Structure 1
């Protein structure tokens, strides 16, 4: 019976985690012609400051490199664009209230006046709390000649821990979603 009470809570948690998407935003210099940029390199000083594990940095950089190359960029020793990253994380606490269902049967809930057929019922209260870590990945594109930020994309999503393959898959998805809005659709370009 206790399992039946937990089933709706479990279903809500599975539904919420399976529907978790990446929230993406970007900003850019609208005076830039992004078609002028065809080469890139990673900006090591910026990447070194990112507060994630070295393994996750490698995953993020591989994903960015893949996305940049898919957009026609080539990696270069003399790049037009420098790519940097930084991250933020915060814990998110979700409280789910499940105040439905009946906990009843026949019996003396109504007292002696209900007789032997009185109904003993009521609602049950089942709350659950879950903690997730929300991570935000920022990808900065910097004009290497002017040393100026020209585009910034950010993606926020729940982080996955544990399984290496799922972690890599999640990082690839986050980077892909961010890079889908690059280059920006600027009028006249």
Structure 2
């Protein structure tokens, strides 16, 4: 029996939203939930809340990385017609995001043939590969500042992979932000596409 350990790949620039796009060709899809009683048609302005630095993941993220994530999210919202404002007091909704990282193990077993005396085939030998990796969950909340509670949430999960190319990281951040807000604002399946109020 052979046991192989694959070291975890952890690059914060990937963890910070860019890694939400894995190397897989499958399109990103975010899971969303929202308060059906909230009137999203009234939303015009959104402000980004400061990152909560009390978690280990947040402490490890640099200010530059936070800025890149904020920029990707803000640009996607602006493309959808919303105005980003710096003052939370002027915002209809507050955007808050955070990360959750979990250590995972993937065990795979293979059968291989054993040969001896140069020609004689022996019984199959188990070949077990143990891959240790980290799974990241990127969570975005839109918070009603009046009630101080989330009225919309989107999450993306992915294995974390190293992405040393800054240009490719930017592309993946953009794609992940687009996936996060793909179903915002929420609407009934039979309703026309809604946008910010004018």
TM-score of the superposed pair, with normalisation by structure 2: 0.67
45, 52, 64: which one pairs with 1:48? 52
Structure 1 residue 88: Cα displacement: 0.8
Alignment match, 1:131: 132
User: Matched residues in 2 for 1:95 and 1:20: separation?
Assistant: 23
DSSP 3-state at the match of 2:30: strand
Alignment match, 2:7: none
Are 1:172 and 2:183 counterparts? Answer: no
Higher relative contact order (CA 8 A, sep 6+): 2
Contact 1:20 1:158 in 2 (8 A): no
Are 1:181 and 2:190 counterparts? Answer: no
Alignment match, 2:91: 79
Alignment match, 1:5: none
Q: 1:21 to 1:128 in 2, by over 3 A?
A: farther
Whose strand fraction is larger, Structure 1's or Structure 2's?
Answer: 2
User: Matched residues in 1 for 2:25 and 2:48: separation?
Assistant: 32
Q: Give unpaired runs (5+ residues) of structure 2.
A: 1-21
Residues matched between the structures, number: 161
Deviates more, 1:172-181 or 1:73-82: 172-181
Residues 37-91 of structure 1, C-alpha deviations (whole Å, 9 max, x = no match): 12111112xx233615023322221111111112111112422111111111111
Q: 1:69 to 1:149 in 2, by over 3 A?
A: same
User: Matched residues in 2 for 1:137 and 1:146: separation?
Assistant: 24
TM-score of the superposed pair, with normalisation by structure 1: 0.70
Q: How does 1:92-111 map to 2 (within 5 A)?
A: 92-99=104-111, 101-104=112-115, 107=117
Contact 1:90 1:135 in 2 (8 A): yes
Q: Give unpaired runs (5+ residues) of structure 1.
A: 1-15, 109-117
Contact 1:23 1:157 in 2 (8 A): no
Q: 1:70 to 1:151 in 2, by over 3 A?
A: same
